[in-house]
Amino acid sequence: MPHAAGPAAPLAEIWRGPFLESVHLGHAVVCDAGGNIVEAWGDPGAVILPRSSAKMIQALPLIESGAANAHGLQSTHLALACASHNAARIHIDAVGDWLSAIGCADDDFCCGPQMPRDKDVHDALIRADGTVCRIHNNCSGKHTGFLTLTKHLGAGPDYVDPDHPVQRACREAFERMTDETSPGFGIDGCSAPNFASTLHGMARAMARFASAGEGSAAYNLTRAMAAHPELVAGEGRACTRLMRAMDHKVAIKTGAEGFFIAILPEQRLGIALKVADGATRAAECAIAQLLVRHGALDRFHPEAIAYTNGDIQNWDGKVTGHMRVAPGLL
C-alpha cells in the first residue's frame, strides 16, 4: 500500500486585511535532468495522482507508436492531446476536425458529456436548447489522441479499460518517465486510468521532458504545449496566461485537486507540486512562484504578480485581501 504523505509545507497564504486567514499546505519537488532533487518542500515521497498534469505522458505513445506520423498530426493536435480545454470554438472545432479525419464521431468517445467552460459556447447551447456532447469534455483532445492510437493499433473500442493496449502503453510510458513502478491507478474524471507515482517521480518525469533531445516525442510535446497555450487551456486560465508570459519557452499544466507541473527546457528542470487540500488557487500561486524562483518567469511581470500576490475582491469589487506565496517559497 502507498505510504501516507509526510508533513506538508505551507505553499500559499490568504490574507484578509492585516489578518492571515488561511494557509494552503502541500508538497513540491524540483528535479534536474538526472532526476535528482534540486529543491523540495513537504514530502517528495508522497504518493500522488497527477490527474491532468500527466497528459503529456499519456500522449507519448501517440507519437512513439508512429500513429501521429501516420495520421499527419501537427503541433496543434499534440497540444490538444495534452489539453484540459475550455470547450471554446477554437477547441471543439479543432477536435471535431481531428475526430472526423480519423473516421470517428462523438459516440466513439469514452469521456462523458461536460458543460463547456467557455461562456460563449455555454450560453449558445442554453439559448438553443442544445445537447451537451462528449466533445465538450475538457479532455476530448486527449481522448481523440487515444482514439487515433486505437485506430493505429487496430484495437477495440473500450480504450479506457486498464487492460486495453492504449492504457498499457500509457502505463509503460508513465513508469518509464517517472522511473518507478506505479502502485496503481484511480479512474479520472474522463474515465481513463490515472496512474500514481511519488511526487519525486512526477518531477523526474517532467525533468526528462525538459531535457529531451530535439525531435523526440517528449521534445515535440513540450514544444507543442508551449507554442499553443490557448489550446492547452483557454482564455483566462493560468496555464495559458503563464505560458504566454514566459514567451512560449516553458510548458505548464494543471491537474485536478491542486496539482501542477512545469517543464523548463532552458533550465533543464522539472517541477511537480500537490496542494494537500486540493485547492487550485494555491497550486496556481505556488507554481508561479517556483517559475519565478528558477528564472523562467520575470517576477515583475503582471501575470507573475497576479498569481503570487493577487488581489481578492468581494462581490462589490472591493479589495478585501490578497493571496500570497508562503514565505518558504520566496
Instruction: Render pLDDT for 35-60 as a digit per residue (tens, 0 to 9).
Output: 999 999 999 999 999 999 999 999 99
Q: How many residues does the chain have?
A: 330
Q: Between the CA atoms of 95, 100, 104 and 107, what dihedral angle is there, to the nearest 10 degrees?
A: 60
Query: Please, which residues have CB within 8 angstroms of residue 4's CB and are 6 or more apart in sequence?
Result: none
Determine contact, residues 259/283, Cβ cutoff 8 Å.
yes
Confidence of residue 188 (pLDDT cuts 50, 70, 90): very high
Residue 76 DSSP SS3: helix
Share of the chain above pLDDT 70, in %: 99
pLDDT at 169 over 60: yes
Share of the chain above pLDDT 90, in %: 98
Determine contact, residues 176/195, Cβ cutoff 8 Å.
no
Half-sphere exposure of 73 (CA within 13 A, CB side): 32
* Cell numbers at 240, concatenated: 495559458
Q: Measured between alpha carbons, how far is 89 from 272 in angstroms, rounded to an integer?
A: 30
* Cell numbers at 92, concatenated: 471543439
pLDDT at 5: 78
Q: Measured between alpha carbons, how far is 288 from 202 in angstroms, rounded to an integer?
A: 18
- Domains in the chain with CATH codes: 9-329 (3.40.710)
Q: Measured between alpha carbons, how far is 143 from 108 in angstroms, rounded to an integer?
A: 9
pTM over 0.95: yes
Determine contact, residues 270/263, Cβ cutoff 8 Å.
yes
Determine contact, residues 248/9, Cβ cutoff 8 Å.
no
CA 166 to each of CA 8, 25, 98, 208, 227: distance values in angstroms, whole numbers, following the listed order = 35, 35, 18, 22, 26
3-state helix, strand, coil split of the chain in percent (to 5) is 40, 20, 40
Determine contact, residues 269/31, Cβ cutoff 8 Å.
yes
Could you give phi then psi for residue 230, rounded to 5 degrees? -70, -25
Q: Measured between alpha carbons, how far is 264 from 251 in angstroms, rounded to an integer?
A: 7
CB atoms under 10 Å from CB of 120, counted, come to 11
pLDDT at 205: 98
* Cell numbers at 8, concatenated: 506538508
Instruction: Render pLDDT for 193-240 as a digit per residue (tens, 0 to 9).
Output: 999 999 999 999 999 999 999 999 999 999 999 999 999 999 999 999
Instruction: Render pLDDT for 81-117 as a digit per residue (tens, 0 to 9).
Output: 999 999 999 999 999 999 999 999 999 999 999 999 9
